[in-house]
């Protein structure tokens, strides 16, 4: 029967374990000097050699002819342990044997002396899955087991273990294996198995494995089916990396604000049975890669991509700013949360992409509007200066006053205060009619914000929504980005407008009731003089 590569090439000795020298060297010295602990804890990411080291340790303590802390792998006991025919080495899966009764049975078994070897070794894999009662039943035996019993606990989630268990074990932390070590091991296995593996293909497999040797060997086994000669292109095609160019297309379409192109791509992917939640996660990963391209000096070490895709990432990253990517990722994170709760995931994904498109269009409009407004402001200043200069001459001639300085300053201040940042052009205000429905929707999505806004009203002024509330907690509450974004999102859903929020202050009432452009007022007074 065919044996998969990760089982066939499991490390038989400590020296054969890749990337964990800080663990294997310590264990070899302990075995060579006879200073063995009664309980060990192996923790670290998946596929890094925890179970392999546990089995090697079980062989080494029972080996008839150990060599400097290593099992000989030739004696009868070593061979029988490898084949699973020795009752003194017991492997327990804590995921399926996690109850108190299972641990009680184990505790009773420890009373029996070894049948063949020098030690009874209990390897408990995924030990974090034990129940609280099972941990409590194990504690006393774990602290003071018989002299011939050794416990080896293995877990990927050490933070779930009680402190009482951690304090009774010698802990060894396994690290992720470097890409170079994984690639070299894959090339060695390919040579021994007599098939061709190019170094570039081995490095690509090592990147995808993310520090796990078992995953790398499983991928190698999978790609080996494609043919005897394995290149980077064939590996990318086999593991599904070559068909992700739709992520670049979606990103370009959203960046250009082409809603129709985004929806057409979603339609095509949906017909190809693409899961929308998975697509959102892939798009977030794509943006993360673009962010790394923008911020890291050596991005290739962080990206699991082919050389061809790396060039595409370089070109696309130039089209973005760092803040723009952060805004996109925040919006897609919101979309991902809605996808998990939505009955129609396709529609939610479409809405998320439409928001990306309209956000970009809104930012471009704001930038264009800001430039136009700045230029118009310069022209108004020049025109106002000329009008005021000429009016001053006429004032000297006629002795009449055009406009009081104090009134003019008050109106300018009212314009600046109403805008809260960049004032809208004329001060044209109206009640925001949809405010009642906004408060009603907030009752379902953000009850805390809805309570703060109870009894409030709102005024629409250009791109601003100015909120009037008598609640003293309102100003501090609305300044928090989470609440402000939630309110903007509800307003966007109702009006299809990206708005900016402000606080309607009492002194603005007089300014809004006499909402006149100071320049228009100045020109009117000037005309009256003529």
Kindly report, residue by residue over 376-387, the tens digit of the pLDDT: 555 555 555 555
Structure confidence at residue 341 (pLDDT): 87
Structure confidence at residue 405 (pLDDT): 39
Gyration radius of the chain over CA positions: 35
Q: H or E segment at 376?
A: helix 345-398
pLDDT in tens, 397-453: 444 433 333 333 333 333 333 334 333 434 456 777 788 888 888 877 777 777 778
Q: Tell me the three-class secondary structure of 204-221, residue by residue.
A: HHHHHHCCCHHHHHHHHH
**Separation of alpha carbons 11 and 14, rounded Å:** 7
The answer to whether 116 touches 77, Cβ cutoff 8 Å, is yes
Task: Give CATH superfamily name and number for 405-530.
Answer: DnaA, N-terminal domain (3.30.300.180)
Q: Does the pLDDT of residue 235 top 90, yes or no? A: no
Structure confidence at residue 419 (pLDDT): 39
Lowest mean pLDDT among 47-61, 117-131, 382-396: 382-396
Structure confidence at residue 293 (pLDDT): 92
In angstroms, what CA-CA distances link 79 with 1, 55, 59, 63?
Answer: 19, 12, 9, 10
Lowest mean pLDDT among 195-199, 236-240, 352-356: 236-240
- pLDDT category at 518 given cuts 50, 70, 90 is low
The answer to whether 249 touches 265, Cβ cutoff 8 Å, is yes
pLDDT in tens, 55-111: 999 999 999 999 888 999 899 999 999 888 888 999 999 988 888 999 999 999 999
**Separation of alpha carbons 254 and 261, rounded Å:** 8
Mean pLDDT of 229-254: 82
Cβ neighbours around 210 below 10 Å, total: 16
503 pairs with which residues across the strands?
467
**Separation of alpha carbons 322 and 341, rounded Å:** 30
For 290, the 3-state DSSP assignment is helix
Determine the Cα angle at 229 with ends 227 and 233, to 5°.
90
Q: Which residues contact 314 (CB under 8 A, 6 or more apart)?
A: 293
127 pairs with which residues across the strands?
none
Structure confidence at residue 469 (pLDDT): 84
Indicate the CATH number for domain 246-360.
1.20.272.10
Task: Tokens for 235, please give them.
Answer: 């590996």
Determine the Cα angle at 394 with ends 388 and 395, to 5°.
80
**Separation of alpha carbons 494 and 488, rounded Å:** 10
Structure confidence at residue 360 (pLDDT): 67
The answer to whether 121 touches 71, Cβ cutoff 8 Å, is no
460 pairs with which residues across the strands?
430, 465
Burial class (CB in 10 A: 0-12, 13-18, 19+), 99: middle
**Separation of alpha carbons 149 and 502, rounded Å:** 71
Lowest mean pLDDT among 29-43, 154-168, 211-225, 450-464: 450-464
Q: Does the pLDDT of residue 331 top 80, yes or no? A: yes
Top CATH class, 179-238? mainly alpha
Lowest mean pLDDT among 144-153, 195-204, 419-428, 479-488: 419-428
Domain definitions of the chain by residue range: 5-173, 179-238, 246-360, 405-530
pLDDT in tens, 311-320: 899 999 999 9
Q: Which of 452, 471, 465 is nearest to 497 (CA)?
A: 465
For 59, the 3-state DSSP assignment is helix
**Separation of alpha carbons 70 and 61, rounded Å:** 9
pLDDT in tens, 6-65: 899 999 999 999 999 999 999 999 999 989 999 999 999 999 999 999 999 999 999 999
Q: Which of 259, 139, 163 is nearest to 267 (CA)?
A: 259
Reported residue count of the chain is 530
Q: Does the pLDDT of residue 307 top 90, yes or no? A: no
Q: Which residues contact 86 (CB under 8 A, 6 or more apart)?
A: 62, 77, 80, 116, 117
Average pLDDT over the chain, rounded to an integer: 81
- pLDDT category at 269 given cuts 50, 70, 90 is confident
Structure confidence at residue 528 (pLDDT): 45
- pLDDT category at 152 given cuts 50, 70, 90 is very high
End-to-end CA distance of the chain: 106
> Matching CATH topology for 5-173 and 405-530?
no
Structure confidence at residue 30 (pLDDT): 93
Indicate the CATH number for domain 5-173.
3.40.50.300
Mean pLDDT of 221-246: 77
- Considering 223-227, 269-273, 310-314, 476-480, the range whose residues carry the highest mean pLDDT is 310-314
């Amino acid at each position: 029967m065919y044996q998969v590569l990760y089982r066939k090439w499991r490390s038989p000795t400590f020296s054969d374990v890749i990337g964990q020298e800080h663990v294997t060297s310590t264990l070899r010295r302990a075995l060579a000097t006879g200073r063995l602990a009664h309980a060990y804890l192996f923790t670290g990411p998946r596929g890094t050699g925890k179970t392999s080291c546990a089995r090697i340790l079980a062989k080494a303590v029972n080996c008839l002819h150990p060599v400097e802390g290593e099992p000989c792998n030739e004696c009868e006991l070593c061979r029988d342990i490898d084949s699973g025919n020795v009752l003194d080495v017991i492997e327990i899966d804590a995921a399926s044997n996690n109850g108190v009764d299972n641990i009680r049975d184990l505790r009773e078994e420890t009373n029996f002396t070894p049948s063949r070897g020098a030690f009874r070794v209990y390897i408990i894999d995924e030990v974090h899955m034990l129940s609280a009662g099972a941990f409590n039943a194990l504690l006393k035996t774990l602290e003071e087991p018989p002299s011939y019993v050794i416990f080896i606990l293995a877990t990927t989630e050490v933070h779930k273990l009680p402190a009482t268990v951690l304090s009774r074990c010698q802990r060894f932390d396994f690290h992720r294996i470097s890409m170079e070590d994984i690639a070299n091991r894959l090339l060695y296995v390919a040579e021994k198995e007599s098939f061709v593996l190019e170094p570039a293909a081995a490095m690509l497999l090592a990147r995808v494995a993310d520090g796990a040797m078992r995953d790398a060997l499983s991928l190698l086994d999978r790609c080996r089916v494609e043919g005897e000669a394995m290149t980077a292109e064939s590996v990318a095609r086999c593991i599904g990396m070559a068909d992700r160019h739709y992520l670049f297309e979606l990103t370009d379409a959203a960046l250009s604000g082409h809603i129709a192109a985004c929806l057409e791509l979603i339609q095509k992917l949906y017909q190809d049975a693409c899961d929308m939640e998975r697509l959102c996660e892939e798009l977030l990963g794509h943006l993360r890669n673009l962010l790394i391209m923008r911020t890291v000096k050596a991005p290739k070490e962080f990206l699991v991509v082919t050389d061809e895709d790396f060039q595409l990432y370089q070109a696309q990253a130039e089209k973005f700013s760092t803040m723009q990517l952060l805004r996109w990722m925040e919006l897609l994170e919101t979309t991902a949360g809605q996808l998990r709760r939505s009955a129609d995931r396709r529609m939610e994904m479409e809405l998320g992409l439409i928001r990306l498109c309209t956000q970009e269009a809104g930012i471009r409009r704001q930038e264009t509007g800001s430039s136009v407004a700045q230029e118009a402001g310069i022209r108004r200043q020049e025109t106002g200066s000329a009008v005021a200069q000429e009016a001053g001459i006429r004032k000297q001639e006629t002795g009449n006053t055009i406009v009081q300085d104090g009134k003019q300053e008050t109106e300018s201040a009212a314009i600046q205060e109403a805008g809260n940042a960049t004032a809208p052009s004329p001060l044209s205000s109206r009640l925001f009619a949809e405010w009642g429905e906004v408060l009603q929707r907030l009752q379902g999505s953000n009850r805390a914000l809805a309570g703060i806004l109870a009894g409030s009203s709102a005024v629409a002024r250009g791109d601003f929504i100015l909120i009037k509330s008598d609640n003293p907690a309102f100003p501090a509450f609305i300044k928090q980005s989470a609440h402000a974004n939630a309110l903007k999102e509800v307003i966007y859903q109702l009006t299809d407008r990206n708005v900016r929020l402000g606080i309607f202050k009492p002194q603005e009432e007089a300014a809004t009731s006499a909402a006149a452009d100071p320049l228009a007022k100045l020109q009117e007074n000037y005309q009256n003089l003529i």
